């Protein structure tokens, strides 16, 4: 029989570490002035341009310095694709001070680059504009989507297992989402639709890991009926460990490859997935299972108190003496 690893010994350390990292990252996000919202969630113009490599060779620093005053707020510039192709993504946020922002700022970007790099050196490949109302609606929809996904998870687990399992899984998912939010804010990863997709992907990934362990716990509760629940949980995690590590490592190899060989939003998406996979695996072991044990313990103590209360004799008071 495989030796059972006593994961429960490290529960308190894991909870303190998680609390420290989450609170610290959220505090750091506030200190940095909030999240680095992309054009999807903050009104602005996104323009993709090509600087003809046969006419002039430029570095991203030159493009950034040329556009520091565009739109009154400056532009965010990223390289798209191989550097030799000289394709750049240029984003300018709309603070509401410029009328007809899309055309005005779009023309300003083109004129500024042509004046610095030479007439005809720049070609606009793509342009898109997100207005203030649309960006606000998209933010609301993103929050609603994450909330709905977690509510459906709770309902699914409540039906498939029992309340203690569902509550523990939700606590683990809340942990993962808060950790991801803190990481994104602390390292100023640009918040785009791809970032939200990464968070939802990690919710599903972490939940899958958690369900595998919970399923094993439910089976072992019958097989190891005479053992303490903590021993059953530790044994179930130990039995699931090889599957959990193999799945996580193979997924990480694929995602790390995407991160290394891509740029822009896809790279940010891959980075969020890398962090999420590690955190999701960790939470399935050190957050979800201890939470399940804690909820079961609370429910048993509550039932015991009710039972003891019900057994107490009821003293009937007679009429007061004259």
Residue 240 near residue 162 (C-beta atoms within 8 A): no
Average pLDDT score over residue span 290-297: 90
pLDDT digits (tens, 9 = 90+) for 116-163: 888 888 888 888 877 666 666 767 877 787 788 777 877 877 787 778
According to CATH, the topology of domain 7-35+135-304 is Multidrug efflux transporter AcrB transmembrane fold (1.20.1640)
Domain 44-130 has CATH 3.50.50.60: no
Pick 193 or 311 by higher pLDDT: 193
**In the predicted structure, residue 320 carries a pLDDT above the cut 70:** no
**In the predicted structure, residue 316 carries a pLDDT above the cut 50:** no
Contacts of 248 (CB under 8 A, 6+ apart): 209, 277, 278, 281
pLDDT digits (tens, 9 = 90+) for 1-55: 568 888 888 989 999 999 999 999 999 999 988 888 776 677 788 888 888 888 8
The b/e string for 206-239 (b: 16+ C-beta within 10 A; e otherwise) is bbebbbbbbebbeebeeeeeeeebbebbbbbbbb
Provide the residue ranges of all domains of the chain, joining segments of one domain with +.
7-35+135-304, 44-130
What's the number of CA atoms in the CB half-sphere (13 Å) around residue 320? 1
Of the candidates 131, 128, 135, 130, the one whose C-alpha atom is nearest the C-alpha of residue 47 is 128
Contacts of 305 (CB under 8 A, 6+ apart): none
């Amino acid at each position: 029989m495989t030796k059972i690893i006593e994961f429960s010994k490290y529960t308190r350390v894991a909870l303190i570490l998680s609390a420290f990292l989450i609170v610290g990252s959220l505090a750091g996000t506030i200190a940095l002035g909030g999240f680095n919202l992309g054009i999807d969630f903050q009104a602005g113009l996104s323009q993709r341009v090509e600087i003809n490599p046969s006419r002039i060779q430029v570095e991203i620093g030159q493009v950034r310095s040329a556009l520091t005053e565009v739109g009154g707020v400056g532009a965010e510039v990223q390289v798209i694709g191989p550097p030799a192709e000289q394709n750049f993504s240029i984003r300018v946020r709309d603070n509401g001070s410029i009328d007809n922002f899309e055309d005005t700022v779009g023309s300003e970007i083109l004129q500024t680059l042509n004046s610095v790099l030479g007439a005809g050196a720049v070609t606009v490949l793509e342009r898109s504009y997100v207005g203030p109302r649309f960006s606000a609606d998209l933010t609301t929809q993103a929050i609603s989507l994450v909330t709905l996904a977690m509510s459906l998870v709770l309902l699914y687990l409540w039906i498939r297992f029992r309340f203690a399992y569902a509550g523990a899984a939700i606590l683990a998912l809340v942990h993962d989402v808060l950790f991801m939010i803190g990481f994104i804010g602390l390292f100023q990863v640009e918040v785009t639709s791809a970032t939200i997709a990464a968070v939802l992907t990690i919710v599903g990934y972490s939940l899958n890991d958690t369900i595998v362990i919970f399923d094993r716990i439910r089976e072992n509760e019958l097989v190891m009926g005479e053992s303490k629940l903590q021993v059953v949980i530790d044994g179930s995690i130990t039995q699931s460990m090889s599957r959990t590590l193999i799945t996580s490592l193979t997924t990480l190899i694929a995602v790390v490859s995407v991160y290394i060989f891509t740029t822009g939003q896809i790279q940010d998406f891959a980075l969020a997935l890398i962090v999420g996979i590690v955190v999701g695996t960790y939470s399935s072991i050190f957050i979800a299972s201890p939470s399940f044990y804690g909820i079961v313990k609370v429910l048993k103590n509550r039932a015991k108190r009710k039972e003891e209360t019900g057994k107490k004799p009821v003293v009937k008071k007679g009429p007061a003496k004259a």
